[in-house]
Amino acid sequence: MTSLFHDIIFGPVHSRRLGLSLGVNLLSTDSKLCSFDCIYCECGWNAEHPGGRRFNAREDVRTQLEATLRRMVADGTPPDVITFAGNGEPTLHPEFEAVIGDTIALRDALCPSAKVSVLSNATQLHREEVRRALLRVDNNILKLDSAFDATARLMNNPQSPAYTVRGVVEQMKGFDGRLTVQTMFLRGECDGQKTDNTTEEEVSAWLRLIEEIRPRQVMVYSLDRDTPCRTLEKVPREELQAIAARVEQLGADLTAKLGDKRPVLVCVLKGASFFYIDLCRCMNCAIDMDFIAVSSYGASAQSTGVVRLIKDLDNNITGRHVVIVEDIIDSGLTMQYLRQLFGARNPASITTISFLDKASRHPESYKTDMCGFEIPDEFVVGYGLDYANYYRNLPYIGILKPECYK
């Protein structure tokens, strides 16, 4: 069954995400106050625990936290983290910024190795004092359960009719990566309405928002405690790991290789544009962007064997670390041409990356340094790839039927 936290300071508990966690509840100890009413909340429905806008006094929080920290340090078991959670949304507290200041001061004085974390549903990011406070803590953990308003309203029940996912995402982007996005994945039925944020449509749209936000970390999890809605299903660990792997792969290898060198990422127009933008969003480092246009296809499905330069770079790449971003390696002629063209300009290094590779169509030496997927020898379109400028905007990669181009 669901339950409230009946103390200002609770725990410590061994958190699956944060370690030995000492909890801080800024809301009333006998009622729930939240700007969401999530179908999976361990505290139950808002209506089950009414009590109005009541908050624990700042001084009471500081006094009890200090006493608990002193006791834990004296016992030789200081917390790994001090976590603001409790009976609702902690950032609703009118003195939230001051409480965070008190907590950081106590942490620094008594257990400087502990982290300060806030678990928030991100509904109060429009308040400047909340943003300032969240930028001071070690773990600013913000909720984003879906890219779609309809799903968010089913899962989270935001209490404000003005709530939109896009509005929250724009506010998250303002943290410049200094946040962790936390997402609950589940499926099931609640009050006769089915919900499932694990579908390909849901996950793909969510990933695009993650790319926009560029958080330093993403936490994905599923049901582990009792929920007010009894007909929800826990998502298996294997599915969560598969979703997490897709996030981790985006830009990680390239950032690790060149993250401290401010590389110039060169998009080979027009086909690579979709992949290029997604890749740039996923790189957690400073980059310069440039574009080059070449052609070896024209309106044909076969390469002509002759590469024409249509648009050159705007940047001088002498002494720079250059990344050539291509949509697909077919014959490999375009990439070889660009390697030679750029090599003559004396860059510090050249790294090649392609979204797709028809490995059977070219010599092994023509392979790129990094590749998303190897594919069979089929004519593919979508996600930027075209035939005679058709099909570029398809939201997927498809095989074009031969009768379309023969």
Per annotation, catalytic residue among 145, 330, 357, 386: 330
- Other Cβ atoms less than 10 A from the Cβ of 173: the count is 15
Exposure string (b/e) for 243-258, b if CB count within 10 Å is 16 or more?
beeebeebbeebbebb
Token pair listed for 84:
């603001």
In this structure, are residues 347 and 318 in contact, taking their beta carbons and an 8 Å threshold? Answer: yes
In this structure, are residues 231 and 189 in contact, taking their beta carbons and an 8 Å threshold? Answer: yes
- Check if 330 is active-site: yes
Cα 327 → chain centroid: 23
The DSSP result for 80-92, as a single string, is SEEEEESSB-GGG
Exposure string (b/e) for 199-232, b if CB count within 10 Å is 16 or more?
eeebbebbbebbbebbbeebbbbbbeeebbbeeb
The DSSP result for 326-378, as a single string, is EEEESSSHHHHHHHHHHHTT--SEEEEEEEEE-GGGS-GGG--SEEEEE--S-
Beta strands in 185-279 (DSSP E): 186-190, 193-196, 217-221, 232-234, 264-269
Cis? peptide before 12, omega within 30° of 0 = yes
Cis? peptide before 261, omega within 30° of 0 = no
Q: What is the DSSP letter of 388?
A: T
Cα 179 from Cα 218, distance rounded (Å): 9
- Other Cβ atoms less than 10 A from the Cβ of 326: the count is 26
- Catalytic site positions: 330
